[in-house]
Amino acid sequence: MDMTLTFLGAAEEVTGSCHLLTINDRQILLDCGLIQGSKTDALRNHQDFYFDPSRIDAVILSHAHIDHSGRIPQLVKSGFSGPIYTHKASAELSEIMLKDAAMLQQRDTERVNKKRLKNNLPTIDILYDERDVEQAIKQFLPITYGQRVSIFPGIELRLSDAGHILGSALVELWLTDPIGQKKIVFSGDLGREGMPILNDPVAIDDADLVLMESTYGDRFHRSWEETITELEQIFAAAISHSQGNILLPAFSVGRAQELLYLFHLYAKQWDLSRWKVCLDSPMAIEATKVYINNYPVMDDDFKRFTRQHPGEHPLLSNVEFIESTEESMALNDINHGLIIIAGSGMCNGGRIRCHLEHNLWRSECDVIICGYQAISTPGRLLVDGADYLTIHGKPVKVAAKLHTVGGLSAHADQAELIAWYHQFKASPPLVLVHGEPLAQQGLIAAINEQLSPPPRALVAAKRGDKLDLSALPKLVWLP
């Protein structure tokens, strides 16, 4: 039986998740994510796929974040007509996120082409439009956690809760031929234990091969208790001078809802009555509605609270939803007393750019970075200490107080990654994906030092690497 796995995205980088599983005449994609980062990185999305989209039989989507789902409409536009397996909540969130992505594609492509025409360069085509998104949505085939389904003869799939965002899934695949069976486990993006709203990542104990993300493979997050204290101190200091606003660039799915929940739980402790809390993101508002409707898959504390406090939903109190562009622009006339949660989480688009333009240069304001910042994104430039940020073509001085709160991350840190892998019996081969090289090197060193026995094989995948799955538990790479 011909069984191979080719790593095509999120290999030595944290973007564009995409892995091609070939089983005889079947081809299955694990994720099909948009490449994000610099303008050069984004242009890679316009390159042809490394495969013929019309020959892909199915897509298995780990979760709705755009770096995992964002090229699915482009795949459909290019000829893919098969099913897209994912959790029910991920299907609902993907519809919101992909429609927004199509709108951004239209706007960004128009802007890029104006510049290319001025420089006598050929224009680029839009990746996809809303019609492509609508067709892709028709191809989603939602399944529930724990449901083991046969997607093709000899290929079975089960999704389990990854604890990263609503609907995020660990992917288990059983591949059977006349000789025997191989089991592949793909972590997708792995969440953390003890985080609000979501359940902890499910423990899996058997696999012939594990693909694991490594975003924070070289660092440790602050504990949840330390993170709450850190946020309280930030708000207390801001209240003491009370002359500015607080901006929180946030991913519209996951981080925004987590912040709303925290503002509800700690409203009194953080003295939030002094502030007007605004969620300024139409997509985050729509995603929040999906979170509310899918509360049965939330953690026990969240479900218990919603039962005990009817009419006081923890994601709807203490917050004002900002829907229209006019409402958003009006916030820039307010000089103090605002807490604004807005996308995008990496400051490379969305309404947060406008709020940064009006507040970043003011020393009395605060900016709280509370998520991963990819290389070359404006958020990463802020974290790395940039003195100026270019916004709408103009340099804006960075004078606001910048706070990087790593403890809010929805990605497992080094210790949590190792602990999750350590639950597997027999130390199966481990291939690291979705991580930058330094993070992966740090994780490899820590695994080899801490685990006894270590994995049977341990490597960070490079883009284009092709693995012979029939040779497992040995890692045999094909040309």
CATH number where 59 lies: 3.60.15.10
CATH classification of the domain holding 269: 3.40.50.10890
310 band by pLDDT with thresholds 50, 70 and 90: low
* pLDDT at residue 467 greater than cutoff 90: yes
Mean per-residue pLDDT, 117-144:
95
Residue 131 sits in the same domain as residue 154: yes
Residue 210 sits in the same domain as residue 234: no
109 band by pLDDT with thresholds 50, 70 and 90: confident
Cβ neighbors of 359 (< 8 A, separation 6 or more) are: 244, 245, 247, 365, 367, 400
**Complete edge-to-edge strand list for the sheet that includes strand 18-23:** 140-143, 84-87, 58-60, 26-30, 18-23, 3-9, 466-468, 477-478
End residue of a domain, out of 369, 389, 408 = 408
Residue 355 sits in the same domain as residue 452: no
- What is the model's pLDDT at position 311? 65
Percent of the chain at pLDDT exceeding 70: 99
Residue 317 sits in the same domain as residue 184: no
Residue 380 sits in the same domain as residue 474: no
Residue 198 sits in the same domain as residue 85: yes
Q: In this structure, are residues 263 and 157 in contact, taking their beta carbons and an 8 Å threshold?
A: no
> Exposure pattern of 222-253 as b/e (b: 16+ CB <10 Å)?
beeeebbebbeebbeebeeeeebbbbbbbbbb
278 band by pLDDT with thresholds 50, 70 and 90: very high
End residue of a domain, out of 391, 408, 425 = 408
Ranges assigned E (strand) in 130-227? 140-143, 149-152, 155-161, 169-176, 181-186, 209-213
Residue 151 sits in the same domain as residue 267: no
Residue 474 sits in the same domain as residue 339: no
Q: Burial level of 361, CB count in 10 A (0-12/13-18/19+)?
A: middle
* pLDDT at residue 12 greater than cutoff 90: yes
Q: In this predicted structure, which of 94-98, 173-177, 424-428 has the lowest mean pLDDT?
A: 173-177
Q: Burial level of 335, CB count in 10 A (0-12/13-18/19+)?
A: middle
Q: Helices 88-118 and 130-138: crossing angle, nearest 10°?
A: 160
Condensed to tens digits (0 to 9), the pLDDT of residues 442-461 reads: 999 999 999 999 999 999 99
Structure tokens at 384: 């790395």
End residue of a domain, out of 408, 425, 452 = 408
Residue 460 sits in the same domain as residue 389: no
- What is the model's pLDDT at position 1? 66
pTM of the model: 0.92
- What is the model's pLDDT at position 256? 94
Condensed to tens digits (0 to 9), the pLDDT of residues 415-430 reads: 999 999 999 999 999 9
Cβ neighbors of 381 (< 8 A, separation 6 or more) are: 389
- What is the model's pLDDT at position 374? 82
**Tally of residues, the chain:** 479
Residue 164 sits in the same domain as residue 293: no
Structure tokens at 454: 């270590």
Residue 196 sits in the same domain as residue 211: yes
The mean pLDDT value of the chain amounts to 94
Sign of CA dihedral 368, 294, 140, 28: positive
Containing structural domain, residue 138: 3-219+410-478
Total structural domains in the chain? 2
Residue 255 sits in the same domain as residue 377: yes
Condensed to tens digits (0 to 9), the pLDDT of residues 20-44 reads: 999 989 999 999 999 988 778 888 9
